[in-house]
Amino acid sequence: MHDDDADAAQFWENRYSDTDRVWSGRPNQVLVDLVAGVPAARALDLGCGEGGDVVWLAQRGWQVTGVDISPTAIARGAAAATSLGIPEDQIQWYAHDLATWKSDREFDLVTASFLHSPVEFPRTDVLRRAAELVAPGGFLVILSHAGMPPWSKYHDHEHRFLTPAEEIAELDLPKDEWETRIAETRSREATGPEGQHAILDDVVVLLQRR
C-alpha cells in the first residue's frame, strides 16, 4: 500500500493527532494468550502505537521498550503508564521511525502487531533486524492482518497480505537458529471505528530462537 501524498512520519503523526484516541488501550488478545505463561523479562514492542501492549506487559513485570514513529502516540502511551503507577524506569519509550531505529540490547520477547502501513515502509527489513535483537531462548511474535478490514479506506490500494508460511519465508531466518512454535490464522470479533462489527482473520507467527 502506498500514499504518495505523505511521508511515513507525517502520515502517522496526523493519524494520531487528528483524534483523541485511535486504539482502545487494551492489549491485543492474541498477544495476551501467547505471552501469559512466559516469565517476565525484557520485551520490545515495534510500532507500539498508544502503548496498549507495552503497558500490559509492564503491569506483569516486564521491562519494556516501546517504539513508534508518532510522538503523539508515544506521549499517550507514557501518560497511560504514569496514570497506572508504572515506574518510569520500567518502560523506555522511543518516538522513532522503525526503518532507521536500532538497539544494542537483547530482548527475551520482540513483538510486532499489525505492522502494516499505507505509506512506504520496509517491513521485512524491520522484522529481520528485530529478529537479530531476540536473545537465545527468546521469542519473536508477529501478528498481522490476513486481509483488509471491511471498514478500511485503503481497499483501492493494491496490497497482498502474507500467509503464515509466507511471513516465515519472507523473514528467511537461519533455520538452525529458529524454531517455529505457531504459524496459523485465527479469527476474532472486531469493532470498527464507527462501531461496525466484523469477524477478522489474523496471521499469528510465534518463533523461538534456539
Tell me the CATH class for 8-19+36-209: alpha beta
Burial per residue of 143-175, b for 16 or more beta-carbon CB atoms within 10 angstroms, e otherwise = bbbbebbeebeeeeeeeeebebeebbeebebee
- Residue 157 pLDDT: 54
> What does each C-alpha distance from 183 to 85, 88, 126, 180, 186 come to in angstroms?
36, 35, 19, 7, 10
- State the pTM of this model: 0.89
Closest-CA residue to 180 (of 162, 207, 142, 140): 207
What average pLDDT does this structure show over 34-57? 96
Cβ proximity of 149 and 190 under 8 Å: yes
- Residue 23 pLDDT: 54
Lowest mean pLDDT, pick from 7-16, 70-79, 166-175: 7-16
pLDDT (tens digit, 9 = 90+) per residue, 6-22? Answer: 588 888 888 777 776 66
Cβ proximity of 54 and 79 under 8 Å: no
pLDDT at 3 exceeding the cut of 50: no
Position 133, amino acid: L
In angstroms, how far is the first alpha carbon of the chain from the final one?
Answer: 34
pLDDT (tens digit, 9 = 90+) per residue, 102-134? Answer: 999 999 999 999 998 888 889 999 999 999 999
Domain ranges for the chain, please list them.
Answer: 8-19+36-209
- Residue 4 pLDDT: 41
Position 21, amino acid: R
Helix (H) or strand (E) holding 182, with range, is strand 178-191
Q: CB-based burial of residue 80 (10 Å sphere; 0-12 exposed, 13-18 middle, 19+ buried)?
A: middle
pLDDT at 188 exceeding the cut of 60: yes
